[in-house]
Amino acid sequence: MVRCQSSSVDSSNQEYMNPHDHSSVTKIHPDPNREFPPLIDSFGRVHESLRVSVTDACNIRCRYCMPAVVNGFLPQHRLMSFDAIHRVVSVLAASGIRKVRLTGGEPLMRPNLDQLVQQLSSIDGLQHIALTTNGMMLADQLPALEQAGLTHVNISLDTLREDAFQQISRRQGLESVLQGIDAAIKSRLQVRLNALMLRDINLQDCVPLVQFARDRKLIIRFIEFMPLDADRNWNQDQVVSGSELRSILQSHFGSLDSVGRADPSQPSSDYMFADGNGGVGFIDPVSQPFCSSCNRLRLTADGKLRNCLFGREEWDVKSLCESNASNQEIYALVAQCVANKYAAHGISELNFKQPDRAMYQIGG
């Protein structure tokens, strides 16, 4: 029997639809080239994407993610080892996972991250090995990561003003971020920028950020402020919706033409500028949830599987790996996690409860 340690389920976070009602499950015939069946939840969503947090440590303290003061990060022995991550990802790739994104905390705080990328690049079936980073340590580490097999990088850039950067991150370092972006542009990696607008701090920066991206032929995506801040100061008034940002940008740059989602499972609604110079995306989990097409699983730095960023239940795969469980047992635990996925995160519901863990503890 698979051993599973999970927190108690709190369905107040979720849309009230039975996760065990398989009436809507997509019928997919087994692929003889796969060792394990595809990971399909009760609502027919086929899971092909895994976000792996490699550390909860970070070199800045962004107010939408972390507290101003952290009373210690996870010690080394509580982190998933690279070998354990490689094993879990290998099992999931054998069931159809095609994209892996390394997150944190700040993933570049994990020593020798290029070694993990090299291990992951050896796994059959993986098409993308991506990294989400604040960019401050990227310039120095990028050559090794690129050589190891990294394919994509997303870099957070919330402002081009140092004072606003410090107000958001509670640290200095904007110039290091810009150096990381420049290094990424010169690499072979596919590069995107991520930005999060807080109404009272950096809303004025949306136009300069888009111009910055257009000048460098990069796509920038705006992410709505979500209730995952460690200080628990989230409120709807600080959320700048994608529709509001589109209106601001169109008034400055001209019309935006929707291109929808090239991949329906991707969270961003993408637009191209009518003048043909670049595009912009909007990830709107608060105002326009995209739960119905979610194909993501998450692995926290301490080895817990999560089927939703806002979920309140976890499955302990680290302990399973440490007990020399078989690949079949690992797959069974992941399948159990997927089977318990709810229809939606329920942010807009009156009884929504913020997860116990903040963003940096889950994995961005």
Q: For residue 67, which amino acid is it?
A: P
Of 167, 156, 174, give the one whose Cα is nearest residue 198.
167
The dihedrals phi and psi of 298, each to the nearest 5 degrees, come to: -130, 145
In CATH terms, the fold of domain 47-362 is TIM Barrel (3.20.20)
Contact status, residue 206 vs residue 245, Cβ threshold 8 Å: yes
Please give the structure tokens belonging to residue 211: 């111009």
Task: Give me 288's structure tokens.
Answer: 């326009």
Amino acid 85: pLDDT: 98
Least confident of 15-24, 76-85, 255-264: 15-24
Mean pLDDT computed over every residue of the chain: 87
Q: pLDDT digit string (tens) for 102-157?
A: 999 999 999 999 999 999 999 999 999 999 999 999 999 999 999 999 999 999 99
Q: Averaged over 11-23, what is the pLDDT?
A: 36
Encoded tokens for 163: 């004072």
Identify the sign of the CA torsion 290, 292, 295, 300.
positive
Q: How many CA atoms lie within 13 A of 191 on its CB side?
A: 23
pLDDT band at residue 21 using 50, 70 and 90 as cut-offs: very low
Residue 250's identity, in one-letter code, is: Q
Q: Where are the domains of the chain?
A: 47-362
pLDDT tier at 58 (50, 70, 90 boundaries)? very high
- Tell me which of 239 and 346 has the higher pLDDT: 239
Contact 107, 132 (CB under 8 A): yes
Reduced to 3 states, what is the DSSP secondary structure of residue 246?
helix
- The count of C-alpha atoms lying within 13 angstroms of the C-alpha of 197, restricted to the half-sphere facing its C-beta, is 26
> For residue 236, what is the DSSP state?
G
Distance CA 171, CA 70 (A): 14
3-state helix, strand and coil shares in percent for the chain, rounded to the nearest 5: 35, 15, 50
Distance CA(11)–CA(19), nearest Å, equals 11
Q: 230: pLDDT confidence band, cut at 50, 70 and 90?
A: low
- SS3 for 15? coil
Helical spans, DSSP H, in 38-137: 82-93, 113-121
Cβ pair 181, 135 in contact under 8 A: yes
Q: How many CB atoms lie within 10 A of CB 228?
A: 21
**Sequence-ordered list of residues with C-beta below 8 angstroms from that of 71, at least 6 positions apart, any chain:** none
Query: CB burial class (10 A; 0-12, 13-18, 19+) of residue 68?
Result: exposed
Which two tokens mark 93? 């790739």
Q: What is the pLDDT of residue 363?
A: 86
pLDDT tens for 245-282 read 999 999 999 999 998 776 766 789 999 999 989 899 99
Task: For residue 304, give both structure tokens.
Answer: 């817990």
Report the interhelical angle of 82-93 vs 113-121 (nearest 10°): 30
- How confident is the model over 336-357, as a mean pLDDT? 80
